[in-house]
Amino acid sequence: MNFDALVIGAGPIGSYLASQLVSKGYSVLVIEKRSSLGGPVCCTGLIGRECLEMLGPSATVIRELNGARIFSPSGKALDVSRPTPQAYLIDRGALDLNLALQAQQDGASYIFGSQVLGLEINNDGARARVWNKGGAFEIEARVVIIASGFGSKLTSRLGLGRVGDFAIGAQALVESEVGEVEVYPSDRISPGLFGWLVPERAGRALVGLLAKREPLRRLSAFMDELEMKGKIGSPVIKPMSRGLSLKPLPRTYSGPIIVVGDAAGQNKPTTGGGLFFGLLGAQIASEVVPSYLEGKIASLSVYEKRWHERLSGEIRKARAGRFVYEKMSDRQRDRLFYIINRSNFIDQLEHDESLSFDWHGRVILKLLFSLAPWSFIRKE
């Protein structure tokens, strides 16, 4: 089988890119190891307005969210909200399915229940070795797009390096009457990272955390704590966990092969959220790949250059913010909360229209430069 483009992985980023390429007239095959889409996915599904606009009708909005309540390690609440929706909770399982259906409707071919085990570059493009229950087979394509999510062995085998910083996200769907997003930045919940409680459909919420180690044990302790406070009840869907990149892959192309989405580490280093940055990476790929296929550019290095131009500044700011946050103790975080409460910082956030859920960098710079949290970071 020969295609212009082979996409490995029918996650949201792979299917979005497949749709874009097939709409431009190229033959596209998507290979997915799951046997079907639409089931629960370990993802909260919180996105900003720009991301929602990119996804269009494929995103089913469950809830509009105007703000969040952030709890200091000692339990003091800080409310940040605006009169209009700032973020949207979407049905993540449905998103994967809708994007794949859209790509198929546009003309992309899909093979489910099949895993790409290896890639070999040849004169005309690349050859993929695929395995499924029926046995092994090969597929050739002029361009191969690795959209296989976090921790793909395909990228390390190609010599593209490894993601240098990552966390594991764990999450459960539980009974809860909580009405707004709650964020818990505390080492007690997860050292250097944070936990969350996000209202879902009526009477339910998503409870989760990011952790460097033991995510499921930490989530279970966090859930016990929230249950004792009367915030959550029994699990509706039991905890699941999955890795997340917090730093991009060192290289995201090799010959006729590129890497997009979580596989490329196109995630926000603050939260690990990867839907928006992954879609931006896919959008850039959908412009560069046709130029490569038409012979207008000689190398797919243009893809890497362009996505770095778009996202590197934001990623640097977010990593600086996380670096400062990680260095703080819970006592220092409590002090930061106290300083924020006494300043007009929240007021400024609420009135600055240029700040958005999609781009965290500006908020981080504002926080770092107006409150200088490093000034009270010291060894205790």
Ligand X SMILES: Cc1cc2nc3c(=O)[nH]c(=O)nc-3n(C[C@H](O)[C@H](O)[C@H](O)COP(=O)(O)OP(=O)(O)OC[C@H]3O[C@@H](n4cnc5c(N)ncnc54)[C@H](O)[C@@H]3O)c2cc1C
Residues that bind ligand X (CB under 6 A): 8-14, 31-34, 42-47, 115-116, 147-149, 152, 169, 171, 208, 242, 244, 261-263, 267, 272-276, 278
Nearer to ligand X, 50 or 330 (CB): 50
Q: How far is the CB of 76 from ligand X (least distance, A)?
A: 25
Q: Judging by DSSP bridges, how do beta strands 28-31 and 109-111 pair with one another?
A: parallel
Q: How far is the CB of 70 from ligand X (least distance, A)?
A: 16
Q: Give the CA diameter of the chain.
A: 65
Q: How far is the CB of 228 from ligand X (least distance, A)?
A: 23
Nearer to ligand X, 118 or 297 (CB): 118
Nearer to ligand X, 73 or 261 (CB): 261
Nearer to ligand X, 26 or 357 (CB): 357
Q: How far is the CB of 365 from ligand X (least distance, A)?
A: 21
At residue 333, the 3 state secondary structure works out as helix
Residue 42's region, left for phi above 0, alpha for psi from -120 to 50, else beta, is beta
Q: Which two tokens stand for residue 36?
A: 């079907």
Q: Which long-range contacts (CB under 8 A, 24 or more apart) does 115-118 make?
A: 115/31, 115/33, 116/8, 116/31, 116/148, 116/154, 118/154, 118/157
Q: How far is the CB of 183 from ligand X (least distance, A)?
A: 12
Q: How far is the CB of 236 from ligand X (least distance, A)?
A: 16
List Cβ neighbours of 123 (8 Å cut-off, separation of 6 or more).
none
Nearer to ligand X, 239 or 321 (CB): 239
Nearer to ligand X, 198 or 340 (CB): 198
Distance, C-alpha 15 to centroid of its chain: 15
Among the residues of the chain, which ranges form H helices? 12-23, 49-55, 92-106, 153-157, 215-228, 275-293, 301-327, 330-342, 345-351, 361-371
